[in-house]
Structure 1
Amino acid sequence: MLQEAVDNFVTSIANGEMERSGGSRNTIMAYRNDLGQLCSHIQTLGITSWPRVTHEHIGNYVRHLRDEHAYRPTTLARKLAAYKSFFRYLSQKGVVTTDPALGVCLPPVERELPQIMTTEQVQTLFQLPERDTPMGVRDLAMLHLLYATGMRVSELIALDVEHFRAQDAAMQCVGVRGNVRYLPLTSAAMDVLDRYLQHGRPHFLRDASETALFVNHHGERLTRQGFWLIIKGYARRAGIEALTPHKLRHAFAMHMINSGMDLGSVQELLGHAHISTTQFYCQLASAQHR
């Protein structure tokens, strides 16, 4: 009964029944994993139904995750949010009459300052792709584009060939909320993108009607997971720990801030909805210069 209720809840998220716009694949996987762990723990207590779960059970489990498993505050906050959403669902379905997650709190989450890639690390990364192979040219073009524009990986893989405005030395980027940004390109990014379009992309294509700018070895649009595997491979070779695609976005933002660009312009380039999000980089810049 425990797992069945979780499965029904996850299905409702996937179908958009519990959220305004449905759940993303990553959100659904997180719910499934977090609630699956909770299920296993509840079963070890000899409890076989959700109505028997109490506020103390949830509170003790969250503290157990913090103290025994050393989960970070951000991870604990995500898990607790999943529990609360799940029990709201059970309450709406009449499965439980009281919400055992209600009132369970965590200390305020302090935002950790990320480690920013140095210019030397970025240049090391650029030296790794093999420039005389189609795959190496493609990978180098993607790395240069991320660092030159600060775009998100989701925006990178959504690019079509027509988004490259060579005459304007810019890339048209459709943001996460559908807003369009025109991002200026460096001469280095322009050169490697032109080389990729001439000597890289045609090598991969299987279907001439494919519109994606960056394609995999099957000639299909590169996926987020595919790019993640690519950058992990280069990170290992470069000896850069915990490199994520988002760190190139951080590096771009910090380069713009440190070069004197005003905050509003950086916000526009990054596609942030609120200036407060961009102000985070000012805080980081101040911390670096202390």
Structure 2
Amino acid sequence: MKLSVIYQPTLPASTSPYRVCNEDGGEVEWANAFLDGQRLRQLSLRSLRIYSYDLLNFARWFAPRHQPLARITESTLVDYVRHQLEQDPQPTPRTVNHRLGTVRCCYRFHTGQEIPAGQTHFQRRYTRKSSLGYGRPRTAVSRRLRLKQDRRVIVPLSAEEVGKFWQSFRTYRDLILVGLMLLDGLRSCEVLALELEDVQLAEGQMRVHGKGNKERSLPLHPDILEVLEHYLRLERPLINTPALFVCLKGRRRGQPMTAPGLRSLFRHHRVRSQVPHANPHRCRHTFGSDMVRAGISLPALQRLMGHSQISTTMLYVELAPQDVWREYARAIEKRKTLDSSHLS
């Protein structure tokens, strides 16, 4: 059975526009019922799209078995993981774990229970510590299959790479797109979601719609503010659309920029600038790392970047050895000064 994800934007607002369907257009009911439930929870279209492709991957493997979803166990997931690891190219452990999480959420949605163990047991004990390094560690138990993931490390762009990549852009629109990621730490989806009414030029700030429909206000860097005024006055077509960033030429001129269009833009400029690692999220990482090195407090950085958990913000405190030694020397000098003042 050939399955695919179909995008149907004309469906009612209470229904997910992403549908898992077979080749005849018939729907995979258990998958789409779950997607509709997440739509009612007001999840973003990006999240619905990710869920739909996770379920599509599982449904393609699970459908030939002709079993109801309620009959699966952790043993079923073991076979599913084995199938994924035999594919070429092989998915990353992070991708496999995300797919497993989606299947477990879907099972809970339909049954109200966790997936039973079956004939396999992956019970393991591990120590859970506070993300900030304080408090008493406690022992937790995991009974689920989960692949080991490499420890996530933030790798920002160097100052030289930022300069080369920045100089490859020519239009005011593109300079603002990259500038909002480098100087304000916006995600690519947040940049594309910006509307004209979100920008307050007089106040020098903007309203950003982040994950989970959470809003936050951010200051606009003076350089970005100047380029933004040029874009609105000289480049942006006079069309009746609320989107801030629109296509500047071609048959889609005046229509809102899309995620594929933004990815294409970055691909072009990676080649042009010869900075192969430049992408929207690495620009955001560069902002976070620069802010940490400049001495910003973690709660302030958490607010600026729209992180729901400060443990995510802590990832940016992955300083290079030279930064650690510099901070050490600064602390020693400060302590000497305090000791001298106390003695006098």
Indicate the TM-score class for this superposition, using the shorter chain for normalisation: 0.7 to 0.9
1:181 counterpart SS class: strand
For 1:178, the equivalent position in structure 2 comes to: 214
Could you tell me how far 1:257 is from its partner in structure 2?
Answer: 1.1
Give SS of 1:250's match.
helix
Could you tell me how far 1:62 is from its partner in structure 2?
0.8
> 1:249, CA displacement in angstroms?
1.1
Taking structure 1 as reference, are residues 286 and 20 closer, same or farther at Cα in structure 2, changes over 3 Å only?
farther
CA distance in 1, matches of 2:106, 2:285: 34
Render the CA deviation track for 1:151-193: whole Å, top value 9, x for unaligned: 2223222323344343444334344443331324143x23322
Distance 2:54 2:220 in 1: 41
Match of 2:185 among 150, 160, 165: 150
1: distance between equivalents of 2:87 and 2:2?
Answer: 24
- Aligned counterpart, 1:133: none
Letter in 1 for 2:295: G
Say if 1:212 and 1:87 are closer, same or farther in 2 by CA, change over 3 A. Answer: closer
Q: Structure 2 length normalisation: TM-score? A: 0.66
Matched, 1:75 2:95: yes
- CA deviations on 1:36-63 (whole Å, 9 max, x unpaired) are 333443467xx33347766434313313
Contact map agreement 1:58 1:104 (CA 8 A) in 2: no
Task: Judge which range, 237-246 or 140-149, deviates more.
Answer: 237-246
Question: Match of 2:162, as an amino acid?
Answer: V
- Contact map agreement 2:190 2:208 (CA 8 A) in 1: yes
Question: What is the number of equivalent residue pairs in this alignment?
Answer: 273
Structure 1 residue 258 and structure 2 residue 297: aligned?
no
Cα deviation, residue 149, structure 1: 1.0
Identity between Structure 1 and Structure 2 (%): 24
User: What is the match of residue 66 of structure 2?
Assistant: 48
- The corresponding residue for 2:32 is 11
Counterpart residue type for residue 214 of structure 1:
F
Q: Aligned partner of 1:195: which letter?
A: H
Match of 1:63 among 82, 87, 109: 82
**Structure 1 equivalent of residue 160 of structure 2:** 120
Corresponding position: 1:160 with 2:186 = no
Deviations 1:199-218 (A, max 9, x none): 111xx2333xx333222243
Pick closer, same or farther for the CA change 1:12–1:253 going to 2, 3 Å.
same
Query: Of 303, 307, 310, which residue of structure 2 is paired with 1:272?
Result: 307
Residues 1:235 and 1:273: Cα distance change in structure 2 (over 3 Å): same
How far the C-alpha of 1:252 sits from its partner, in A, is 0.8
2:136 alignment partner in structure 1: none
- Sort the Cα spacing of 1:247 and 1:81 in 2 relative to 1 into closer, same or farther, 3 A: same
- Higher-Rg structure is 2
The structure-2 alpha-carbon separation of the partners of 1:150 and 1:31, relative to structure 1 and needing over 3 Å to count, comes to: closer
> What value does the CA root-mean-square deviation take over the aligned residues?
3.5
One-letter identity of the residue aligned with 1:56: S
> Deviations 1:85-118 (Å, cap 9, x if unpaired)?
34445546xxxx9676995411454442132111
Q: Contact 1:91–1:99 at 8 Å: present in 2 too?
A: no
> What TM-score, normalized to structure 1?
0.77
